[in-house]
């Protein structure tokens, strides 16, 4: 075994992780190899330095700071969760809502179309081109079922 590999055994030995068989082999090697013996001494010194280094006490109120910061995030998450719940409900009903809007749109379109076709039919039977009648039937003809009747109807009887 090379000295480099023995160094790993030295580290294990200092950490108390070396079994008896390897420990005996290492001790035999240390008796014969001055380089590894010096390394073992230096490593032991480093261990001492590291273990003597004092501990860092936790500053006061750090725990409270941590708790309040995480709780803030928890609350934000719960608000986000409520919003997401509504968004999920909306997402669930979205196809139905789109269907309703489509049906209402088609319904309105059909109503307008029926009204227009009705106006054209009644006006064309009386006089002029269908477009003139469509635009001016309420003015000239005085007929009540003009194309604009469904929006506005003059009930006063005067003016037009």
Q: Using CB under 8 A, which of 23, 25, 37, 43 touches another protein?
A: 43
The span of 18-26, 45-53, 100-108, 114-122 binding another protein (CB under 8 A) equals 45-53
To another protein, the closest distance from the beta carbon of 24 in angstroms equals: 20
Per CB under 8 A, the segment of 25-33, 51-59, 82-90, 147-155 that binds another protein is 51-59
End-to-end CA distance of the chain: 117
Using CA atoms, how far apart are residues 13 and 19, in angstroms rounded to an integer? 8
Residue 35 binding another protein, by CB under 8 A: no
Asked whether 116 and 149 are in contact (CB, 8 A), the reply is: no
CA atoms of 160 and 149, how far apart (whole Å): 13
What DSSP state is assigned to residue 53?
Answer: S
Cα–Cα distance list, 76 to 66, 69, 83 (Å): 16, 11, 11
Q: How far apart are CA 130 and CA 134, in angstroms?
A: 6
Angle between helices 34-52 and 3-14 (to 10 degrees): 40
**Closest to another protein by CB, 80 or 94:** 80
Binding mask 101-140 for another protein (x = CB under 8 A): ----------------------------------------
Q: Which is nearer to another protein, 5 or 160 (CB)?
A: 5
Chain residues in the site for another protein (CB under 8 A) = 4, 7-8, 11-12, 15, 17, 42-43, 45-47, 49-56, 58-59, 62-63, 65-67, 69-71, 73-74, 77-78
């Amino acid at each position: 075994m090379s000295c480099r590999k023995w160094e790993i055994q030295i580290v294990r030995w200092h950490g108390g992780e070396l079994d008896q068989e390897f420990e005996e082999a290492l001790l035999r090697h240390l008796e014969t190899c001055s380089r590894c013996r010096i390394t073992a001494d230096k490593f032991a010194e480093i261990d001492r330095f590291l273990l003597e280094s004092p501990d860092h006490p936790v500053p006061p109120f750090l725990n409270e700071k941590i708790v309040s910061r995480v709780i803030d995030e928890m609350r934000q998450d719960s608000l986000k969760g409520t919003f997401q719940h509504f968004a999920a409900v909306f997402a669930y009903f979205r196809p139905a809502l789109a269907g309703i809007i489509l049906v209402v749109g088609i319904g309105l379109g059909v109503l307008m179309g029926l009204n227009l076709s009705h106006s054209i039919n009644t006006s064309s039977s009386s006089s002029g081109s269908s477009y003139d009648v469509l635009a001016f039937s309420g003015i000239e003809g005085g007929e009540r079922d003009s194309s604009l009747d469904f929006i506005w109807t003059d009930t006063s009887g005067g003016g037009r």
